[in-house]
Amino acid sequence: MIVPLTTTKIGEQVRVSCLNCTSEDTCRLQELGCVEGATGTVVSNQKNIILQVGECRLAITHPLAMNILVEPVSKKKSSNL
C-alpha cells in the first residue's frame, strides 16, 4: 500500500517508495538522505511533517510531503501527544 507522506501517523515507520516531485525538489530530498528505499519514522504530522530518516530529522512542508509517496512498514504504537 503506497500513500502520500501526509496521510501517515505519528510514530509510524515508513519506507520512501517514490519521490513524485520536480527534479530539483527530488534532488534536494535525496541529498538530505530521503531517497527511494530509505526508511524513516514520522515524528510529527500536523499538516507539515517532521520525518526522521536515519539520524537526520527533516522538516517538510505539506505541499512537498504530498508528493512523497511512502509505504508503511510496521505499525508502532502512536506516541503520546
Partner 1 sequence: MSNQTINAQKEILRQPSTIALVGNPNTGKSTIFNALTGLRQKIANYPGITVERKMGTTIINGVLHKIIDLPGAYSLNHKKADERITYETLIGSYDHEEKPDLLLMVVDASNLERNLFLASQVMDLQIPMLMVLTMSDIADERGIRIQSQQLSNVWGVPVISINARSKKCDVQIKQALFEQGVATPKPFKWNPSKLLRQAVDRLDREWLSEHTQLPERARPIEALRLLAEGSLEDSFYQYSEEEKAKKLIEELQNTLEAQGENPTAVEVVQRYSFIGDSSEGSVTKEQRDEQTWTDRLDNVLTHRVAGPVIFVLVLLVMFQSIFSWATPFMDMIDMLFIEFGAFVGSSLPAGLLNSLLVDGIIAGFGGVVIFLPQIIFLFLFIYFLEGSGYMARAAFVMDGFMTKVGLHGRSVVPLMSGFACAIPGIMATRTIENWRDRLITIMILPFMACSARLPVYAVMISAFVPDKRIIGFLTLQGLVFFGLYLFGIVMAVGSAAVMKRIFPTGKPTPFLMELPSYKWPNISSVVIQSLERGKIFVTEAGKIIVAISIILWVLASFPTYEPTANDLADMDANRQISEQMLSTLQLNQSYAGTFGQWIEPAIEPLGFDWKIGIGLLTSFAAREVMVGTLNTIYSIEETEEQLGLIERLRGEIDPETGLPKYTLATALSLMIFFAIAMQCMSTLAIVKRETNSWKWPLIMFGYMTVLAYFSAWITYEWANTFLLG
Query: Is 39 among the residues that bind partner 1 (CB under 8 A)?
Result: no
* Binds partner 1 (CB under 8 A): choice among 13, 39, 58, 71: 58
Query: To 5 degrees, how large is the angle CA 32–CA 77–CA 75?
Result: 65
Nearest distance from C-beta of residue 44 to partner 1, angstroms: 6
38 vs 70, which CB is nearer to partner 1? Answer: 38
Write the CB contacts of 44 (distance below 8 Å, at least 6 apart in sequence). Answer: 10, 50, 81
SS3 call for 50: strand
Binding site for partner 1 (CB under 8 A): 22-33, 35-38, 43-44, 46-48, 50, 53-61, 63-64, 79, 81
